[in-house]
């Protein structure tokens, strides 16, 4: 199947180019940030590093020199991109530790959270979607529709607050903040997963309804195949062809959710680190976390493309007219 | 998809009567909120006026939503916050829509390198969550600036319009209908007026409603993570965050901004859904 | 066969299918016997396909069926959906309308055929061997490992036939099998169906193709507006019909057309300057050549037809001649007289040829303005088409396909074209409206002295128009 290999190469080339593009956009934005750093930025960074009480003009001057605020902008943009190409993210302006090391630690936290949340969303969402598809406009379907709408209308931070109020403050079942224990993962993952599950339910429902009413499923039935096999052999795979690409779209929502939920629950992940970096103007950490988060999206999309390639033998966008 | 013979029969059977009602309710709901946001700030008390004697005062006839921890009028603050959310979101959506639609049509119409360049740029933006772009841009500004928020949200959203408009316009431009118009030599004005715009309008309405939801929620989320607008400005997300510590002693503080946020998004989402089925 | 359940007759005592507002089918007393095929003909929308699904028990849930039928000695209530599922594949099989859509796009062909075999279990080799066997007997050696999207229309249909009949059903319902098939595939289809009858099977074929009905023989039922209007042995109904609709249906076959334009086909003036000149044009699609080194000259008043099975590039050639598509080699030139919108095109689906969200009137008025046509001319043109001017107030989706195609003809005639390209313009219409539409089209073309370029898969149609033919894709079946 050389055509499949060609399409594989196409996917990898396209996603690779996207990754590079993302890296350029993120680092140019970060560079602009450094250029535009207001006068007291060095002072503020120094304060972040040593604490407001201990900071003095000398420390601020040291920071200013470290940022190289005296050289020309183009020169610095060049250096900036070269450093990036060598995967040299520098050291954190706040903790003075190598950024790569910090980001590695935070990445692990984010991956844990995202994986559990995604599994949660897929199980709940796909389950509800399949149930709703059994009887379109039946009671389960209507319930799912209402669920989808209300989950969409509640931003993750609000959902998180509600869960904290109910499970942590009122029922005292789960910790509201913290990192490391399985119990502390439950609320953030549930917040993130619940938010995603609504959209999943909707897409799964539509896909299953569409596939079940397709002519090939109807034909599989009239061939004499038992319903169980019709579902397993025809509905699941074809519905997956429709649902899986949606995971790629969801990656953006997932990452946005990660940023919010990690801040809310003080979960040690990239989003938490990013918000802190924005607050303290810790540019190297800011750049690295934003970059890794964006590349995570590209990675999820690459995986999605590969799965679709494996599921569906048809070439994209083909067709010659009569 | 049902087979063509059965499709005609199926058409008559579906088509519930529920949609128009939902749509009218959504429009009415938005109308009330817009009126509240526009008129409220003119007639209500100063949202910044503190009155520490009335710390966390409960709802009264004069102050239907009570007072917050600084004794400020909650109803006035909610009105200002709603106006801010609606205005800023509209500005972001309008900018993203104009920019994205123009770029999308240009891409589909000219093809070639115009298309290649615009597509490359959009590919990079697609992988950037709106929140990330806004975070980066607001980090650029000195914190809490409306401009940064506006620029970030518009910048994060134009891609959506670009991609949809480009795909849709490419379909329209390649359609038999446009080919026929070209053979009839009806000119580009005809193609834009009769083919492109009528076809794009419903999608744009859908995207714009969704864009309003995204912008409003993103603003409140940024307020919540403390990198968006700064206190003491009245903003829905900030208000929710500030009210959180008092949720058991003064629940009216949280309920009002949450309700406004919820009703706004539900109305826009309903509008989007009814447009899709229409 | 000694099976006690063996069905040697299928009797439809009464079958009624309705939507909440209309009756789609209302028939009674139709009998099918083993060895004698039954063919149901009629216009689209007459309810013949709905009847097949009602018998099978596969109507969409919005449609309510009532009545009963008997297979052998067992009687079935048509309102009861679940009761017939055990018959599927084993006693009753359905060959669906669009075989290409009836095959799962993500599964290899042999697995799809094998799973219909009695006693099939996943990954069981016996069923797979049987599937390979059947595919081979239908001339599809080696196609088992292919995915459906790589098959031609004719091949997809044979695969669907193999999958439908591998379960050993005696009763075979065939729904509109000839759609979009070229002559060779049609021949194979007729042979396949005849073989089923010879093996002692029962065959019910739904078709609008009278040629197929004639070849299958047996009995014919003519349906119009949900009801049977005539039935009897094929040789009688298809030669001496009694009911007026049946008569019209027969007269609508292209080979029976007798309008004046079928005779006075003026030979073109060989000396006249060609309107369209194509010199050694070639085009390939994904490595497969569609046409090569083809040269054509279209002169005023000439009639040309591009014929061949679906999917071989007939439309692409037509578009190349109109310079609507790029070609790989050669050149196409249009003479000066064609300038100013005087080459026009009609489309297979007229619904796609008008901007779908604006009323027809605004599209037509734009044409009137551009080509300085006054409203009286448009009115008289529509009048000749048998359409009121008021119909233009509607949107494209609100008029029928036949009406819309007539509006499209009127629109195409407004710039006084010298070349008209009709791309399968009547292939989606049922026979009676195809005949009417073709007649209207040819009157305009002959009246205006316009050259005609016809793309069609229907050889009879090309011959009836008396066109010079370009044949494409004779050996496409060979390549996989």
Which ipTM value was assigned to this complex?
Answer: 0.78
pLDDT in tens, C289-324: 888 888 999 988 888 999 887 777 888 999 999 999
Candidates C53, C352, C358; nearest CB to B194: C358
Burial C42-66 (b: 16+ CB within 10 A, else e): bbbbbbbbbbbbbbbbbbbeebebe
Residue A4 and residue A73 share a domain: yes
CB C17 within 8 A of CB C81: no
Tell me if B6 is assigned to some domain. no
Tell me if C458 is assigned to some domain. yes
CB B178 within 8 A of CB B189: no
Tell me if B178 is assigned to some domain. yes
Residue C241 and residue C271 share a domain: no
Tell me if C193 is assigned to some domain. yes
Question: B98: domain range?
Answer: 20-277
pLDDT of residue A319: 32
Residue C335 and residue C186 share a domain: no
Total number of domains constituting chain B: 1
Tell me if A275 is assigned to some domain. yes
- Which residues of chain A are within 8 Å of residue B130 when distances are taken between CB atoms? 252, 256
Residue A185 and residue A149 share a domain: yes
Residue A126 and residue A18 share a domain: no
Q: CATH number of the domain that B74 lies in? A: 1.10.3720.10
Residues shown for chain B: 278
Q: Which of C355, C358, C450, C455 to probe the B interface (max B CBs under 10 A)?
A: C355
Tokens matching residue A228: 């169980």
Domain boundary (A86, A116, A137) is at: A86
Residue A263 and residue A210 share a domain: yes
Tell me if B138 is assigned to some domain. yes
Residue C197 and residue C131 share a domain: yes
Q: CATH number of the domain that A204 lies in? A: 1.10.3720.10
- Shortest Cα–Cα distance, A310 to chain C (Å): 10
User: Who wins on pLDDT, C30 or C141?
Assistant: C30
Tell me if C478 is assigned to some domain. no
Question: A239: domain range?
Answer: 99-311
Q: Which has the closest alpha carbon to B165: B105, B121, B124?
A: B105
Residues of chain A with pLDDT under 70: 1-2, 34-57, 60, 63-73, 76, 176-180, 316-322
pLDDT in tens, C253-301: 888 888 778 776 666 667 788 899 999 999 987 777 888 888 999 988 8
- Which residues of chain C are within 8 Å of residue B173 when distances are taken between CB atoms? none
Residue C103 near chain A (CB below 8 Å): yes
Tell me if B2 is assigned to some domain. no
Q: CATH number of the domain that C116 lies in? A: 3.40.50.300
CB C328 within 8 A of CB C282: yes
Residue B232 near chain A (CB below 8 Å): no
pLDDT in tens, C399-454: 888 889 999 999 999 999 999 999 988 887 878 888 888 998 998 888 888 899 99
Residue C91 and residue C215 share a domain: yes
pLDDT in tens, C327-364: 999 999 998 888 888 999 999 888 889 998 899 999 99
Residue C322 and residue C239 share a domain: no
pLDDT of residue A316: 58
Residue A78 and residue A103 share a domain: no
Residue A125 and residue A17 share a domain: no
CB B23 within 8 A of CB B271: yes
Tell me if B88 is assigned to some domain. yes
User: Who wins on pLDDT, B123 or C205?
Assistant: C205
Tell me if B11 is assigned to some domain. no
pLDDT of residue C155: 85
Residue A272 and residue A184 share a domain: yes
Question: C418: domain range?
Answer: 260-471
Tell me if A322 is assigned to some domain. no
Q: Which of B3, B12, B191 to probe the C interface (max C CBs under 10 A)?
A: B3
- Which residues of chain C are within 8 Å of residue A322 when distances are taken between CB atoms? 310-311, 313-316, 348, 423-424, 455, 457
Residue C325 and residue C250 share a domain: no
Tell me if A125 is assigned to some domain. yes
CB A213 within 8 A of CB A242: no
Residue A232 near chain B (CB below 8 Å): no
Residue C180 and residue C160 share a domain: yes
Sign of CA dihedral B142, B147, B149, B155: negative
pLDDT in tens, C154-166: 888 889 999 999 9
Residue C236 has pLDDT above 80, yes or no: yes
pLDDT of residue B96: 93
- Which residues of chain A are within 8 Å of residue B133 when distances are taken between CB atoms? 29
pTM, to two decimals = 0.77
Which residues 111-150 of C have a C-beta within 8 angstroms of A?
112, 115-116, 118, 120, 122, 147, 149
pLDDT of residue B162: 92
Report CA dihedral (A139, A145, A148, A151) to the nearest 10 degrees: -70
Tell me if C423 is assigned to some domain. yes
Total number of domains constituting chain C: 2
Residue C165 and residue C107 share a domain: yes
Tell me if C477 is assigned to some domain. no
Residue C134 and residue C225 share a domain: yes
pLDDT in tens, C25-40: 999 899 999 989 999 9
Distance of alpha carbon C161 from alpha carbon B250, whole angstroms? 72
Residue A305 and residue A185 share a domain: yes
Tell me if C274 is assigned to some domain. yes
Residue C155 and residue C87 share a domain: yes
Residue C43 and residue C173 share a domain: yes
pLDDT in tens, A194-220: 888 888 888 888 889 889 888 899 999
Strand-strand pairing, C227-233 and C64-71? unpaired
Residue A145 and residue A62 share a domain: no
Residues of chain B with pLDDT under 50: 1-17
- Shortest Cα–Cα distance, A215 to chain B (Å): 7
pLDDT of residue A52: 63
Residue in the block written with tokens 């118009």? B181
CB B249 within 8 A of CB B191: no
Tell me if A319 is assigned to some domain. no
Tell me if A91 is assigned to some domain. no
Taking CB atoms and an 8 Å limit, are C50 and B190 in contact across chains?
A: no
Tell me if A317 is assigned to some domain. no
Total number of domains constituting chain A: 2
Distance of alpha carbon A309 from alpha carbon A5, whole angstroms? 10
pLDDT of residue C476: 42
Residue A13 near chain B (CB below 8 Å): no
Taking CB atoms and an 8 Å limit, are B237 and A157 in contact across chains?
A: yes
């Amino acid at each position: 199947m050389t055509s499949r290999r060609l399409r594989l190469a196409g996917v990898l080339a396209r996603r690779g180019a996207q990754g590079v593009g993302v890296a350029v956009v993120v680092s140019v934005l970060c560079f602009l940030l450094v250029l535009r750093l207001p006068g007291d930025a060095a002072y503020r960074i120094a304060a972040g590093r040593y604490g407001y009480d201990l900071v003095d003009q000398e420390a601020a001057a040291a920071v200013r020199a470290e940022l190289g605020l005296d050289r020309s902008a183009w020169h610095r943009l060049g250096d900036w991109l070269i450093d990036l190409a060598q995967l040299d993210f520098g050291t954190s302006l706040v903790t003075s530790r190598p950024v790569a090391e910090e980001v590695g630690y935070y990445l692990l936290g984010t991956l844990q959270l995202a994986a559990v949340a995604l599994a949660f969303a897929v199980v709940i969402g796909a389950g509800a979607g399949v149930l709703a598809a059994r009887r379109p406009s039946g009671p389960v379907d209507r319930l799912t529709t209402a669920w989808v709408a209300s989950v969409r209308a509640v931003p993750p931070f609000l959902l998180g607050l509600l869960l904290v109020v109910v499970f942590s403050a009122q029922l005292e079942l789960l910790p509201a903040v913290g990192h490391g224990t399985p119990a502390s993962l439950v609320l953030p993952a549930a917040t993130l997963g619940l938010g995603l599950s609504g959209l999943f339910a909707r897409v799964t429902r539509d896909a299953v309804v569409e596939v079940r009413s397709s002519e090939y499923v109807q034909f599989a039935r009239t061939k004499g195949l038992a319903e169980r096999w019709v579902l397993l052999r025809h509905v699941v795979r074809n519905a997956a062809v429709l649902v899986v690409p949606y995971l790629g779209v969801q990656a953006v929502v997932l990452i946005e959710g990660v940023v919010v939920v990690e801040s809310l629950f003080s979960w040690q992940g990239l989003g938490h680190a990013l918000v802190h970096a924005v607050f303290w103007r810790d540019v190297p950490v800011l750049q690295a976390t934003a970059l890794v988060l964006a590349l995570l999206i590209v990675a999820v999309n690459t995986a999605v493309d590969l799965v679709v390639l494996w599921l569906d033998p048809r070439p994209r966008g083909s067709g010659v007219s009569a | 998809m049902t087979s063509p013979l059965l499709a005609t029969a199926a058409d008559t059977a579906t088509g519930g009567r529920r949609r128009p009602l939902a749509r009218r309710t959504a429009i009415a709901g938005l109308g009330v909120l817009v009126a509240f946001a526009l008129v409220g700030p003119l007639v209500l008390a100063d949202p910044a006026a503190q009155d520490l004697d009335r710390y966390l005062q409960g709802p009264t006839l004069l102050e239907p939503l009570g007072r917050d921890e600084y004794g400020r009028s909650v109803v006035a603050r909610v009105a200002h916050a709603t106006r801010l959310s609606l205005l800023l979101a509209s500005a972001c959506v309008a900018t993203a829509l104009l920019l994205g639609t123009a770029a999308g049509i240009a891409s589909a119409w000219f093809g070639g390198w115009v298309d290649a360049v615009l597509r490359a740029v959009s590919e990079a933006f697609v992988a950037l969550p709106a929140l990330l772009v806004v975070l980066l841009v607001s980090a650029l500004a000195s914190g809490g600036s409306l401009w940064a928020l506006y620029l970030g949200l518009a910048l994060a959203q134009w891609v959506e319009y670009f991609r949809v408009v480009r795909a849709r316009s490419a379909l329209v431009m390649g359609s038999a209908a446009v080919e026929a118009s070209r053979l009839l030599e009806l000119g580009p004005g005809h193609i834009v007026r009769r083919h492109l715009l009528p076809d794009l309008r419903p999608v744009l309405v859908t995207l714009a409603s969704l864009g309003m939801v995204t912008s409003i929620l993103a603003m409140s989320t940024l307020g919540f993570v403390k990198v968006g607008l700064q206190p003491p400005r009245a903003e829905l997300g900030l208000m929710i965050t500030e009210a959180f510590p008092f949720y058991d002693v003064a629940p009216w503080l949280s309920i009002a901004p949450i309700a406004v946020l919820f009703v706004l998004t539900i109305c826009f989402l309903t509008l989007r859904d009814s447009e899709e089925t229409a | 066969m000694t099976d006690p359940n063996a069905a040697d007759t299928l009797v439809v005592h009464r079958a009624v299918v309705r939507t909440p507002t209309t009756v789609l089918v209302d028939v009674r007393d139709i009998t099918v016997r083993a060895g004698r095929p039954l063919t149901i003909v009629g216009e689209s929308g007459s309810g013949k396909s709905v009847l097949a699904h009602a018998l099978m028990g596969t109507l969409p849930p919005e449609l309510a069926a009532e009545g009963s039928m008997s297979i052998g000695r067992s009687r079935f209530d048509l309102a009861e959906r679940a009761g017939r599922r055990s018959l599927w594949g084993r006693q009753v099989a359905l060959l669906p309308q669009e075989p290409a859509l009836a095959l799962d796009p993500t599964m290899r062909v042999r697995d799809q055929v094998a799973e219909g075999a009695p006693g099939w279990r996943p990954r069981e080799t016996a069923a797979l061997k049987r599937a390979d066997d059947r595919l081979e007997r239908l001339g599809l050696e080696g196609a088992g490992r292919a995915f459906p999207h790589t098959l031609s229309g004719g091949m997809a249909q044979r695969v669907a036939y193999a999958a439908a009949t591998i379960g050993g059903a005696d009763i075979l319902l065939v729904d509109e099998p000839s759609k979009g098939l070229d002559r060779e595939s049609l021949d194979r289809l007729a042979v396949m169906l005849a073989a089923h009858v010879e093996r002692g099977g029962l065959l019910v074929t739904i078709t609008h193709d009278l040629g197929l009905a004639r070849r299958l023989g047996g009995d014919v039922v003519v349906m119009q507006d949900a009801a049977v209007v005539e039935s009897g042995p094929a040789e009688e109904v298809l030669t001496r019909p009694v009911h007026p609709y049946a008569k019209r249906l027969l007269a609508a076959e292209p080979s029976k057309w007798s309008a004046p334009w079928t005779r006075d086909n003026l030979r073109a003036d060989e000396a006249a300057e060609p309107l369209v000149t194509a010199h050694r044009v070639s085009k390939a699609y994904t490595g497969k050549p569609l046409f090569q080194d083809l040269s054509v000259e279209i002169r005023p008043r000439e009639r040309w037809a591009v014929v061949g099975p679906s999917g071989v590039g007939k439309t692409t050639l037509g578009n190349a001649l109109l310079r609507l598509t790029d070609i790989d080699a050669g050149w196409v030139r249009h003479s000066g007289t064609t300038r100013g919108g005087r080459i026009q095109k009609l489309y297979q689906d007229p619904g796609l040829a008008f901007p779908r969200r604006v009323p027809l009137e605004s599209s037509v008025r734009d044409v009137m303005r551009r080509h300085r046509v006054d409203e009286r001319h448009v009115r008289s043109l529509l009048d000749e088409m048998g359409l009121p001017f008021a119909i233009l107030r509607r949107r494209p989706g609100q008029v029928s396909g036949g009406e819309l195609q007539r509006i499209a003809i009127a629109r195409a005639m407004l710039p006084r074209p010298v070349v008209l390209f009709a791309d399968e313009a009547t292939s989606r219409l049922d026979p009676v409206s195809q005949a009417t539409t073709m007649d209207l089209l040819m009157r305009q073309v002959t009246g205006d002295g316009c050259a005609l370029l016809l793309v069609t898969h229907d050889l009879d149609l090309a011959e009836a128009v008396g066109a010079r033919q370009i044949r494409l894709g004779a050996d496409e079946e060979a390549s996989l």
